[in-house]
């Protein structure tokens, strides 16, 4: 789901130390003090608690959106925007909406091409 969301937004997937320590993502994807520092337009923190080490890696991003079930998580309080909810419920809804909007735009573009023809 994260890969698809990143693709729809023209972004990339990063991760926390927990994800790399558990073997879920390669260390090269780790954002944080011992990983990579990023400064993107939108940093979407999905289920990231927001430990200082991770925050240091993403704090230069223009806008930070946190999705977390814990309203007291440090990332939630530091983020510009937050959605309090389970990433397994929130992300599928976001991806579905992005897909629908992309299809709608494609349909409108096709309609414009046909009417010009």
Q: Lowest-pLDDT range, 16-25, 65-74, 103-112?
A: 103-112
Q: What is the CATH number of the domain that holds 93?
A: 3.40.50.1220
pLDDT tens per residue across span 3-24: 999 999 999 999 999 999 999 9
CB distance 88 to 68 below 8 Å:
no
CB atoms within 10 A of CB 93: 11
The predicted structure's pLDDT at residue 114: 73
d(CA 39, CA 109): 32
Read off the pTM.
Answer: 0.85
- Output the average pLDDT for the chain: 93
Mean pLDDT of 97-109: 88
> Structural domain tally of the chain?
1
d(CA 24, CA 18): 9
| Residue 94, SS3 per DSSP | helix
Q: Residue 67 belongs to what domain range?
A: 2-116
Tokens of 99: 């897909």
């Amino acid at each position: 789901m994260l890969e698809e969301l990143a693709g729809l937004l023209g972004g990339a997937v990063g991760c926390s130390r927990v994800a790399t320590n558990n073997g879920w993502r390669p260390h090269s994807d780790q954002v944080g003090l011992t990983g990579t520092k990023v400064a993107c337009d939108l940093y979407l923190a999905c289920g990231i608690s927001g430990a200082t080490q991770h925050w240091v890696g993403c704090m230069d991003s223009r806008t930070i959106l946190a999705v977390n079930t814990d309203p007291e998580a440090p990332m939630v309080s530091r983020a510009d925007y937050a959605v309090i909810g389970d990433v397994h419920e929130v992300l599928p809804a976001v991806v579905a909406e992005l897909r629908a909007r992309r299809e709608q735009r494609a349909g409108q573009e096709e309609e414009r091409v046909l009417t010009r023809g």
